[in-house]
């Protein structure tokens, strides 16, 4: 049950950050480079969450860099929580 909640949380967070990045790109000039569509924003969100970061889309403005930093901190915390849950499940008899 907890794993299902984490998966749903990731989906909600991905959509939320993608919409935020898209709004930054569309409404504030110079904040995001390479985001022209919602799919571009989802792509940037996915590459950020997986720490792949190809560099074709990136945060250029200070606000966008701040949002991306919050996003990265969330990702690290999420992976830590997921690892903790996995170790608890593996450690059970």
Report all structural domains of the chain as residue ranges with CATH numbers, in order of start: 2-91 (1.10.287.70)
Asked whether residue 1 carries a pLDDT value surpassing 70, the answer given is no
pTM of the predicted protein model:
0.88
The C-alpha atoms of residue 60 and residue 79 are separated, in whole angstroms, by: 26
Residues 6+ apart with CB under 8 A from 75: 48, 49, 51
Q: pLDDT confidence of 85, banded at 50, 70, 90?
A: confident
pLDDT in tens, 58-77: 999 999 999 999 999 999 99
* Mean per-residue pLDDT, 20-38: 97
Element (H, E) at 32: strand 32-33
Q: How far apart are CA 88 and CA 64, in angstroms?
A: 36
What does the pLDDT look like over 45-59, one tens digit per residue?
999 999 898 999 999
């Amino acid at each position: 049950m907890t794993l299902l909640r984490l998966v749903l949380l990731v989906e909600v967070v991905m959509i939320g950050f993608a919409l935020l990045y898209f709004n930054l790109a569309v409404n504030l000039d110079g904040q995001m480079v390479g985001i022209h569509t919602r799919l571009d924003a989802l792509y940037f969100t996915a590459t950020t969450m997986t720490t792949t970061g190809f560099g074709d889309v990136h945060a250029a403005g200070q606000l966008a860099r701040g949002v991306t930093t919050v996003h990265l901190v969330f990702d690290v915390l999420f992976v830590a929580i997921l690892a903790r849950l996995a170790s608890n499940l593996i450690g059970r008899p």
